Amino acid sequence: MSPERAPFAALDDILRRTRYLLIDFDGPFCSLFAGTPTAPVADDLRAVITRKEVSLRVAIQNTTDWFEILAYAASVGPDVGTSVESALTVLETKAVTTASPTPYIHDVIAACHESGRAVGVISNNSASAVRAYLDAHDLASQVNAIAARTRPDSTILKPSPHLIKEAASTLGASQSTCTVVGDSQSDIQAAHSAGAFSIGYAKTSADADHLAATGADAVVLSLADLALRLRARVADPDV
């Protein structure tokens, strides 16, 4: 399905059936590492492991995926896992100082509240970094729930539905009344596993095709469309 031709009816149907918007942090909410080089992150985390005198598998030596490194560290033992998770939290929180809001995210948040909806943030990034970003952008009072990484256990991170269930519980909501807004296949998979709806946020047509193929209930190339349809429901709840 081409996102440019995706009917607003798909968004309207999702919004008609849900009352809670759970927005992925790094991507739909902001670009966490917008002003921070990401290349050194994996190397910094590998250094934490090697200082523990733990050998690295070839795949871990070569990966640029720091969540893969975190999972490996946690598999080695709780001490190594905690050390790597703490180091990653420091790097993520430092990146907040140069992070940039995703275009129209503030409009989406405002439109959610105008339409009587609550907003949650879900993230594989650290809860500390999420809170630091919300504080820095005066958004803490506008976000009703945060479900993010607080420990090295990568099995509870997306695509696991755990964070969605945690956010829904905090909001006092049924998972079936929640919509996840995410930019990765793992976001869509987590939403499906949790019994929630999903809106894929894509930066390119190719990304949109991948999200649609994963099963996103709707796909947008701009959060302006989501804000528009939320405000349309304020004007006409039957939309």
Q: Specify whether the CB–CB gap between 163 and 24 falls below 8 A.
A: no
pLDDT at 233: 74
Q: Specify whether the CB–CB gap between 50 and 208 falls below 8 A.
A: no
Query: Where do the structural domains in the chain lie, given as residue ranges?
Result: 3-32+101-235, 39-97
Burial class (CB in 10 A: 0-12, 13-18, 19+), 164: buried
Provide the whole-model pTM: 0.93
Query: pLDDT (tens digit, 9 = 90+) per residue, 107-116?
Result: 999 999 999 9
Nearest CA-CA partner of 212 in 188, 236, 178, 194: 188
pLDDT at 8: 82
Tokens of 175: 């998972």
The C-alpha angle 126, 168, 24, rounded to 5 degrees, equals 40
Query: pLDDT (tens digit, 9 = 90+) per residue, 48-105?
Result: 999 999 999 999 999 999 999 999 999 999 999 999 999 999 999 999 999 999 999 9
Helices (H), 20-98: 39-51, 58-62, 66-76, 78-95
Q: Terminal CA-to-CA distance of the chain, rounded, Å?
A: 23
Q: Is the pLDDT of residue 2 over 50?
A: no
CATH number at 3-32+101-235? 3.40.50.1000
